[in-house]
Amino acid sequence: MPNNNEKELVIACQRNDPKAQTAFYNLYKGRLLGVCRRYARTVAEAEDIFQEAFIKIFRNINSLEKIESVGAWVKSLVVRTAIDHYRHTSHEREQVGYDNVIEHPEEDFNIFSSMGREQILGVINSLPDGYRVVINLSLIDGFTHAEIAEMLNISEGTSKSQLSRGRELLKKELIKVGYEVKV
């Protein structure tokens, strides 16, 4: 088995080396299971998303052209798998209008830097699904409204509206758990 150097692990995974696949999986599990938890309602659901993502990763690892970008490639596949899961399991997708959308400065959410991982997950997971997913994609994962609209098959206006309204709900939830947030 190659050493834990990511480049060597990727090359070994491309050769279907089971030991390398296990090491690669374990290398990313800690980092990316947390990403899945932000998109899922439960730990079990997050683990299912993570497993599904890794099936896709190993199925498509030979298509990875730039081995040095493996981290970004893996994270992108995990996020897209979480979005696919959301689309397939969401029974009540919220489609809210673009009317009255208020743009908010990003400083409002620097509060996350002072919170623990479990606190952040708890507050975000308390939001309705549509808001929660757009908050994750925009504020945490940095996707644009155009990218979010394409991933979720919604309009950019709906993405902006869900972000705006989700931020307002997020502020209320943060205040409930004792954080002072600019309103």
List the domain boundaries for the chain. Answer: 6-89, 106-176
Residue 94 one-letter amino acid: E
pLDDT-derived band at 77 (thresholds 50, 70, 90) equals: very high
Is the CATH number of domain 106-176 1.10.10.10? yes
Average pLDDT for 80-94: 73
Does residue 102 have a pLDDT over 50?
no
Q: How far apart are CA 39 and CA 85, in angstroms?
A: 9
Neighbours of 142 (CB within 10 A): 8
Does residue 8 have a pLDDT over 70?
yes
Does residue 178 have a pLDDT over 50?
yes
pLDDT at 54: 94
Q: What is the pTM of this model?
A: 0.62
Backbone conformation region of residue 142, classed left if phi is above 0, alpha if psi is from -120 to 50, else beta:
left
Lowest mean pLDDT among 21-25, 71-75, 99-103, 126-130: 99-103
Contact of 25 with 9, CB cutoff 8 Å: no
pLDDT at 21: 93
**What is the crossing angle of helices 18-39 and 117-125, to 10°?**
60
Counting residues of the chain whose pLDDT is more than 90, the rounded percentage is: 30
Q: How far apart are CA 13 and CA 63, in angstroms?
A: 12
Q: How far apart are CA 2 and CA 65, in angstroms?
A: 20
Query: Which two tokens mark 18?
Result: 């089971």
Lowest mean pLDDT among 50-59, 85-94, 146-155, 157-166: 85-94
Q: What is the CATH number assigned to the segment(s) 6-89?
A: 1.10.1740.10
